[in-house]
Amino acid sequence: MTLVDIAKNQVVKISGLPFDEILSAQLLEQGFTLRTEVALAHKAPFNGPIAFRLHNTKISIQRCIAEQIQVAST
Tell if the pTM clears 0.85, that is, is over it: yes
Q: Where are the domains of the chain?
A: 3-73
Tell me the fold of 3-73. Answer: SH3 type barrels. (2.30.30)
Residue 36: the pLDDT is 95
Contact assessment for residue 34 and residue 14, using Cβ atoms and an 8 Å cutoff: yes
Residue 74: the pLDDT is 80
Residues in the chain, pLDDT under 70: none
Bridge partner list, 57: 54
The pair phi, psi for residue 33, each rounded to 5°, is -110, 160
What average pLDDT does the structure give for the chain? 95
Contact assessment for residue 67 and residue 5, using Cβ atoms and an 8 Å cutoff: no
